Amino acid sequence: MEFLLEYGLFLAKSITVVVAFVVIVSAIAVASQRNKKESTDGHIEVTTLNHRYEDWEDLLKFEILDEDSFKKERKAKKKQLKADAKKNADQHRKRLYVLDFDGDVSASDVEFLRHEISAILTVARPEDEILLRLESPGGMVHSYGLAASQLQRIRAHGIPLTIAIDRVAASGGYMMACIGDRIMSAPFAVIGSIGVVAQLPNFNRLLKKHDVDIELHTAGAHKRTLTMVGENTEEGRKKFIEELEETHILFKEFVSENRPQLEIDNIATGEVWYGSKALEVKLVDEIRTSDDYLLSQRADSDIYAVSYRQKRSLSERLGFAAEGAMNRTLASLLAKLSQNRF
């Protein structure tokens, strides 16, 4: 009898858990369908970085100084700020707008970058500046061509553009970077890779071995140069390489046009350079991190970080959360596996 009671209690708990799970899943599904009907437009977010630096400064001084010294420091600071505000009442302080671009193969961030630039151009003045913190190893030509074109809009409006490379700007990433009036990089940032690469496997022999026929029909002599499943020809290979060379020539011309100080034939070899060496070959203008540059500008500039945030449905947010958890788990595992490498 006691066994039956315990079993019944266990069964009731199990049913409760299952029902709760079904209810939660159903609620998520309903909310997801509702979100699909809602607007997916995003919005611009602006953060005043001067305030962030001031908060950090106050926090550290509060911990470091004794109470009397801290109060005197704050009183003197308020007095100075009031004097500066009165002095600059009739003057326009420079505004420094900060953008971030984290590039993947398809330069997906360009969908945000285009809106951010459009927003800034509605208020930016010639005496202002835009800083792009750029990180990209490159990717598809047409995608990065569009991203570079977005930066050219800034130059066309006469707004100074500074590019900061803290980690990497290679291939398509450097196509974007060369638009800048000035390029700064960290000493070990990876710069360059002014070249074009394409590769694909061919399964034709494998398919023939297993008696699988492939029919490939085209209209136009060069509609398909190389394929993954068809039988490739020398003529197709020749045309494929020719197209790569043409793309490389366009790439070199684009970089030369925007950075005429470069000896393009010496650096457009597909090689990469670390920041300090990139300075020697004039790929960059200065060795400096974006953090140091922003900190140096806070006294004389109002610094605004501008970002475009896309609205996501509930299902997308749950997906990103799951992806983030998986990425953190993999990163932790990789860190443990490689912790004895150095």
State the Cα–Cα distance between residues 333 and 56, nearest whole angstrom: 33
Catalytic residue among 171, 185, 193, 301: 171
Instruction: Give the DSSP letter string of 136-175.
Output: E----HHHHHHHHHHHHHHHHTT--EEEEEEEEEETHHHH
> Residue 94 catalytic?
no
Residues 6+ apart with CB under 8 A from 187: 274, 275, 276, 287
**Whether 332 is catalytic:** no
Candidates 37, 86, 209, 223; catalytic one: 223
Angstrom distances, CA of residue 198 to CA of 140, 248, 308: 10, 12, 32
Say how far apart CA 302 and CA 93 lie, in whole Å: 7
Helices and strands in the chain, H and E counts = 12, 9
Strands 161-170 and 129-136: parallel
Phi and psi of 301, rounded to 5°?
A: -135, 150
Continuous segment of H or E residues that includes residue 94? strand 94-102
Contact between 101 and 308 under an 8 Å Cβ cutoff? The reply is no
Q: What is the identity of the amino acid at 179?
A: I
Number of alpha carbons in the 13 Å side-chain half-sphere of residue 50? 14
Catalytic residues: 171, 223
